[in-house]
């Protein structure tokens, strides 16, 4: 809408004076008052009905919503919002990143919005604690970095999530994997294979973890552990969701992923789902998987399956001085299946490898590749053509499937 930002700010200032004199004004009253002010303005500055409606909503969001961000939050086609500074906002839509021609009135206004967001989830962000993870009411993930760490000014990144959690059918329809692979993974989840999902930033790890979690049988007790609660597990009624907590201004009261994993072991879980491991908590997760909590799931950042295994080793070393041979044995005995996701050059997100960990040989973790993505070309508009193909290797350890009474279908026969 082509309405001068200065005009908008003048109207906001006028309305703010009214609000200051009537602090008990409810949302409906505020909106009605804004409509009156905009209507009076339009008498001397003719506006179309659509522009008037837009202006009312724009001003209302400055007081009760997330200001200029609210339309982007409400836009279901926008998947990520990147605020580099108060006057520099980028969005991702359909995999493409572009700058929008909207901005906050000032750096102070952006900071006000940031404080409102983090305050609603009992988080603190300031000059002494300039980095924080939070979430919006709809579950969208928020990361904030303030000066002096962020040189341009307050920075915020919002990863939006759909109102309805994606299902495996949605992922199949989007081409992330095929139906036969999905069926294979479902069998592994039901049979309590420990599965670790790796991938780069924006590859869809959390979404995929959520989809796999919904294969968990209804009669089990699940504990989810996250920095900022994002998982939307709807199929399991006996569910406890735990979230970390930052230290207060005195440096006390921090609750870490490690703390939550240790506490969860005393909550009689059938399975533990750790949203993402980034550091020393990797050891606690591996030990949980090794102590009777089969069927546990987690994710981590990496560029390949081998890279993910190396990163896990580094994470464990950051919290315990163990010989590398011991760490590799811990990993190989704890994790059964490695799934790797990638965001391809056409911006599509796909499962690119599924591998089984079959032990340690000559000091190295041995992988049994089961599926690999095979690229077969491109369409005229640059979309990648390809699919996950069985490697010809069969699942080495089938005992969990047999114990769960789940029939194993040879992988070769699952693909036409």
Reply yes or no on whether the pLDDT at 200 is more than 90: yes
pLDDT digits (tens, 9 = 90+) for 217-226: 999 999 999 9
- Check whether residue 24 and residue 112 sit in a common domain: no
Q: Is the pTM of this model over 0.85?
A: no
pLDDT digits (tens, 9 = 90+) for 265-316: 999 999 999 989 999 999 999 999 988 889 999 999 999 999 999 999 999 9
Confidence of residue 129 (pLDDT cuts 50, 70, 90): confident
- Between CA 375 and CA 372 the distance in angstroms is 10
Least confident of 14-28, 224-238, 264-278: 14-28
- Check whether residue 252 and residue 347 sit in a common domain: yes
40 Cβ neighbours under 8 A, 6+ residues apart: none
> Token pair of 416, please?
């036409």
In three-state secondary structure terms, 102 is coil
- Check whether residue 257 and residue 270 sit in a common domain: yes
**What is the pLDDT, as a whole number, of residue 361?**
93
**What is the pLDDT, as a whole number, of residue 413?**
45
Number of domains the chain contains: 3
The more confident residue out of 384 and 63 is 384
Least confident of 34-38, 73-77, 345-349: 34-38
- Check whether residue 227 and residue 331 sit in a common domain: yes
Domain carrying residue 125: 68-162
Rounded alpha-carbon distances, angstroms, from residue 57 to 32, 37, 62, 90, 352: 11, 12, 9, 21, 43
**What is the pLDDT, as a whole number, of residue 36?**
85
Q: Which of 113, 133, 162 is the last residue of a domain?
A: 162
Reply yes or no on whether the pLDDT at 86 is more than 90: yes
- Check whether residue 146 and residue 175 sit in a common domain: no
Q: Which of 16, 49, 64 is the last residue of a domain?
A: 64
- Between CA 231 and CA 207 the distance in angstroms is 8
Contact 319, 279 (CB under 8 A): yes
Reply yes or no on whether the pLDDT at 1 is more than 70: no
């Amino acid at each position: 809408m082509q309405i001068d930002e200065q005009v908008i700010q003048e109207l906001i200032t006028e309305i703010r004076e009214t609000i200051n004199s009537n602090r008990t004004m409810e949302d409906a009253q505020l909106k009605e008052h804004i409509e009156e002010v905009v209507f009076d303005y339009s008498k001397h500055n003719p506006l179309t009905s659509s522009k008037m409606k837009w202006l009312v909503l724009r001003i209302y969001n400055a007081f009760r919503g997330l200001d200029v961000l609210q339309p982007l939050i409400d836009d279901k086609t926008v998947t990520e919002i990147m605020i580099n500074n108060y006057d520099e906002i980028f969005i991702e839509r359909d995999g493409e990143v572009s700058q929008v021609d909207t901005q906050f009135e000032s750096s102070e206004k952006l900071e006000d919005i940031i404080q409102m967001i983090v305050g609603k989830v009992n988080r603190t962000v300031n000059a002494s604690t300039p980095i924080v993870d939070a979430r919006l009411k709809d579950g969208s993930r928020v990361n904030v970095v303030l000066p002096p760490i962020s040189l341009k000014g307050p920075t915020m990144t919002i990863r939006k999530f759909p109102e309805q959690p994606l299902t495996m059918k949605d992922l199949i329809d989007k081409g992330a994997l095929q139906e036969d692979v999905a069926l294979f993974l479902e069998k592994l989840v039901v049979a309590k294979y420990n599965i670790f999902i790796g991938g780069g930033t924006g590859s869809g790890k959390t979404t995929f973890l959520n989809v796999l979690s919904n294969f968990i049988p209804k009669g089990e007790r699940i504990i989810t552990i996250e920095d900022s609660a994002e998982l939307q597990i709807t199929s399991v009624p006996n569910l406890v969701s735990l979230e970390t907590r930052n230290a207060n201004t005195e440096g006390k009261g921090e609750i870490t992923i490690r703390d939550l994993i240790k506490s969860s072991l005393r909550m009689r879980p059938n399975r533990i789902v750790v949203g993402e491991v980034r550091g020393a908590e990797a050891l606690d997760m591996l030990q949980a998987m090794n102590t009777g909590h089969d069927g546990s799931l987690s994710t981590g950042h990496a560029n390949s399956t081998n890279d993910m295994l190396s990163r896990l080793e580094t994470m464990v070393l950051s919290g315990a001085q163990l010989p590398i041979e011991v760490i590799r044995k811990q990993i190989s005995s704890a994790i059964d299946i490695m799934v790797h996701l990638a965001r391809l050059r056409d911006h599509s997100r796909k499962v690119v490898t599924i591998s089984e960990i079959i032990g340690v040989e000559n000091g190295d973790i041995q992988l049994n590749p089961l599926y690999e993505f095979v690229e077969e070309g491109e369409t005229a508009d640059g979309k990648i053509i390809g699919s996950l193909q069985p490697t010809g290797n069969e699942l080495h350890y089938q005992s969990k499937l047999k114990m769960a009474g789940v029939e194993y279908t040879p992988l070769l026969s699952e693909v036409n």
